[in-house]
Amino acid sequence: NAGVTQTPKFQVLKTGQSMTLQCAQDMNHNSMYWYRQDPGMGLRLIYYSASEGTTDKGEVPNGYNVSRLNKREFSLRLESAAPSQTSVYFCASSDGGGRGLGAKNIQYFGAGTRLSVL
């Protein structure tokens, strides 16, 4: 099992360009998450999907869109990249997170995508 796989690992964009970060998990988890991590800020939740077909905003959703393509895949799109979106992006999945099932919600992380926007 690969766990949680993110692509790409590194990306450099120019301001205004768009791109999609891909995430896939093979653990049959219902819930998937996108975080960004900036120095001294910990992990901040961008969007999450408690189950296939649903998505919800997290703490910092502005400038991003997501798609839960199927149970395995959850993508994050930057429509018009800005320098403030320079960060490390982590995808995670968990076996909890849905209504009434969130008591544990242990998260498993991908290796991260290091994004620079110039």
Partner 1 sequence: QKEVEQNSGPLSVPEGAIASLNCTYSDRGSQSFFWYRQYSGKSPELIMSIYSNGDKEDGRFTAQLNKASQYVSLLIRDSQPSDSATYLCAVNMVQSSASKIIFGSGTRLSIRP
Query: Rule CB under 8 A: which residues touch partner 1?
Result: 31, 33, 35, 40-45, 48, 50, 54, 56, 58-59, 90, 94, 96-99, 101-112
Pick the closer one to partner 1 by CB: 14 or 42.
Answer: 42
Pick the closer one to partner 1 by CB: 59 or 79.
Answer: 59
1 vs 104: CA distance, rounded Å: 22
Residue 86 one-letter amino acid: T
Least distance in angstroms from the C-beta of 73 to partner 1? 18
Least distance in angstroms from the C-beta of 54 to partner 1? 8
Residue whose pair of structure tokens reads 């969130």 in the numeric block = 102
Pick the closer one to partner 1 by CB: 15 or 116.
Answer: 116
Distance of CA 42 to the CA centre of its chain: 15
21 vs 32: CA distance, rounded Å: 14
Residue 34 neighbours by CB distance under 10 Å: 28
